[in-house]
Structure formats: structure tokens, C-alpha cells
A = this chain, B = another copy of it.
Amino acid sequence: MSARVLIVDDLFPNVKLLETKLGLEYFDTLAAMNGPDAIAICEKGLCDLVLLDVMMPGMDGFEVCRRLKNNPVTAHIPVVMVTALDQPSDRLKGLDAGADDFLTKPVDDTALFTRVRSLVRLKAVTDELRQRALASRAIGMGDPLVTAAAETGLDAQILLVEDRPGAADRMAGALSQHHRVTVEADPLTAIQVAAEGEFDLALISLDLSGHDGLRLCSQLRSLDRTRGMPLIMIAEAHDRARIVRGLDFGVHDYLMRPVDRNELLARARTQVRRKRFSDVLRGAMQASMQMAVTDGLTGLHNRRYLDNHLGMLFSEEGMRHRPMAALILDIDRFKAINDTYGHEAGDDVLRAFADRVRQHTRPIDIVARYGGEEIVVVLPDAGLAEAHAIAERIRERIQAAPFAVQRATRDLPVTVSIGVAVRCADDASPGDMLRRADEGLYEAKAGGRNRVVAQAA
């Protein structure tokens, strides 16, 4: 994936060198000579990845990284820190600031390109989610990015696939401080455990005895159930080629043995945060789609859902010759409740009304709020007699006990009128059936309310 790489360094020759290297690999580059400029470029959404020098006058690289990772607008941009000194403490400080990786100057080309490509590819998938989240914010649906960026990356479910008992104990011990860890020595069992569990991360030894750990990584990246789970390879110095291969096919990160305890914790946390960032965005999108077919007050389906589903039930060939019934329920004298006790009392009644109706219908029935105080119930496979009996039972249950309003300080008697109709062979659309049910409802109201009227075709 091509991408715009932002190079941040206060020394011009360093910028130039990286620009040339990346340009030859067909990356687009931008440059910033200090932290504030770098942050401004990221906030404007002008880059896909940041190569960030640690030592800069004014705001140093750690601070720049921290600010980028704590800002919902920039938290998704991968940051690779670049340092002249390979002090473990620096490395750790960068990872703790949220950096995705750490490269040492002079920068090794393979390491640089492999890492940049891998991070850019992973970002491409998240970007699609992020675009949807931005769109949802633009139309006023709240801001999932803020929640997503606030994720701590702690308290995760982690799978550790390692068959050296000593190493497994040490790593599991360190991780258990903040996470729940499952250790698995056998790669085949590991796949099963991973597919059946809900892991936020898997750490996988490349040197499992008798098994190529990288193959396990590839399988976990391929299976539907596990491809969303980030992977960290645990490698030896001689595993360079396999590390590059792994990053190339979608493994997220790696740790070199002997594994530094703090680096382990920092890298694990970064991956967990990344995964949860995506999960939160997906969840928000799912919730917003759910909202589009749900009535906010009662939690019932809304009219849009009813129209969609009834349309499908009417058009499906297999459903055409099966019976179907519809009830339209309307609370009697609902306006008087609103006018006398206020809208909040009216809302209480509507919610409780919806609950009672739901309690007396089956899971396969569609229960939808149709309008103000009206509910429609669609009963697949029900004939007129059965539908009438169900309507009668609901009518009776509404009347049976008064409705609590105004924080349960007052009880209101409520009744409901119900029109019932069944589908006819020559109905052209669901509207025909509903119209007959509506006529039944009208008669029920005219006949004195609190009654059920079934309308023959």
C-alpha cells in the first residue's frame, strides 16, 4: 500500500536521507522539523504514518508521540520512533508513549520498509472503519472515536503459545499483572483455543518444537474467527527472514528473545489498544444501524423495520402460501393521559405497554411501534382465530393491572383497542392487510374501545 510518510527530525540531512530512501520505494513523504509542526500535519490528516526522531529541541519525540496517541483525531496514525541511541530505557519510553515501533539509526532499510509497509497495510483496514465513524459523527450520532482513543489496553485476554516452560512462566507472570493469560504449548490445540475464545491478542513463539510458529500465525490470520486478533511473534536473532515474512502477511509485531519484561508489556498493550480501537468503531457502527430500525422510546422495532420485513415476507415465494396475521393496537384515550399527567407519564405508559405486548408474543412475531401510541404485531403462521385469541389475551393483560407512572407514585388504568386481520390470497402488498386491521381498530374504537375486532377479508 502506498502512503504518505511524515518524517520528523530537527536535522535537515536526516530528513533528506529518509526522504530519498522512502521515495525510491514509491512512498510519498512530508517533513516537519519540530514537534508542533508534526502534530499540526497529523491533525490535518495529511499523513498515514510518522517516523519520529526522539531527540529534538523543544518538544521531544516522546512528548509528540504521547500527544498524537492521546488525541482522538490522530490516535490511529502509526508512529515509529527513530533514535541514535539504542538504550532499552529509551525504547521503553517510546513504547510507553504509545509508539508502534522503534528503529535505531543508522536505519536498516529492510527493517524500515517492512515495518512501514506492515503498519500502513494494517491502517488501511482501520481507515475504512474510521471513515464510517467520521460519517456517523457528521450526521450527529455521537463520537465513537473519542471512546475508541481512550482505550487503555489493559485487562485483556491474552493467548501465549510457547512450549518452553521457563519462558512461558516468565512471560505469563509479567502479563498476568494486567491481563488474563492462557498458555498453550501445542500449536494445534492453540488454533482451537483461539477460535473458541475471545482473545484480544496472541503471542506466538516462532520456534515451537517440531512446528513452524509462523505457520500458526498464518493460519490464525486466515481463519474468520481469529483474523481480527492481533499477533506478536516471539523470535530469535536468526529469525530475521521469518519476521519480515510474518510482518508482510499481516502479523502485527514481534519481540526478540531474551524478551524484556517491560517491552513485552508495552507492545502487548499497544496491540490490545489497536484491536479495541477497531472493536469500538465496529460496535458503534453496529449500534447505529440497530438504532435505525429501533424505536428509541420503547425499544421495539420501528416502522421502517416493519415495512422492510413485511415487504420481504410478502415477496418471498416460500411465504406466499402460509398464513399470516396482523394486529394493530392503539391505547385508548392516550391523549388524555398526556394532557392530564404530562408527556413523561405518557412515555412511561408507552414503555410499559410495549413491554406487556412483547411478553405475550413469540420471538418470531414482529412487534413494532407504528406511530404515536400504536403498536403493530405481525404473526407469521397464525390464522384469524389464533390471532384473535392472542389479541384478546393482550387486551386482557393490559386491562388487568394499572400502569405505574410518575416514578411509581401513581397508577393509571389503561385499556387498548385492537384490530385484527389476516393476509388474503389477493393482497397485493402488506398495506392491504394492515388496512383491514386498521378498519378493525376503527370499529373497536367506535364500538366503545377496550375490545378486539377481527376484520375478514
Contacts and interface: CB of A to CB of B under 8 A. Distances in A.
Contacts of A305: 140-141
A145 to B, nearest CB: 14
A339 interface: yes
A249 interface: yes
A199 B455 CA distance: 56
B121 A308 contact: no
B250 A2 contact: yes
A58 interface: no
A26 B372 contact: no
Given A129-B128, A219-B28, A139 B293 contact: yes
A53 interface: no
A64 to B, nearest CB: 22
Contacts of A45: 224
Contacts of A250: 1-2
Interface string A227-257: 0000000000000000001000110000000
Interface in A358-400: 371-373
A142 B308 contact: yes
Q: What band does the interface of chain A fall in when counting residues whose beta carbon is under 8 Å from B?
A: 35 or more
B222 A48 contact: yes
A445 interface: yes
Interface string A107-138: 00000000000000100110011011001100
B141 A221 contact: no
Contacts of A429: none
Interface in A63-82: none
Given A2-B221, A249-B1, A373-B372, A289 B438 contact: no
A131 B124 CA distance: 16
A1 B128 contact: no
A335 interface: yes
A291 B305 CA distance: 11
A438 to B, nearest CB: 7
Interface in A321-364: 335, 339, 342-343
Nearest to A46: B224
A285 interface: yes
Nearest to A284: B289
Interface in A305-327: 305, 308-309
A373 B335 CA distance: 11
Contacts of A245: 26
Interface of A: 1-4, 26-28, 45, 48, 121, 124-125, 128-129, 131-132, 135-136, 139-142, 214-215, 217-219, 221-222, 224, 245, 249-250, 282, 285-286, 288-293, 296-297, 301-305, 308-309, 335, 339, 342-343, 371-373, 438, 445
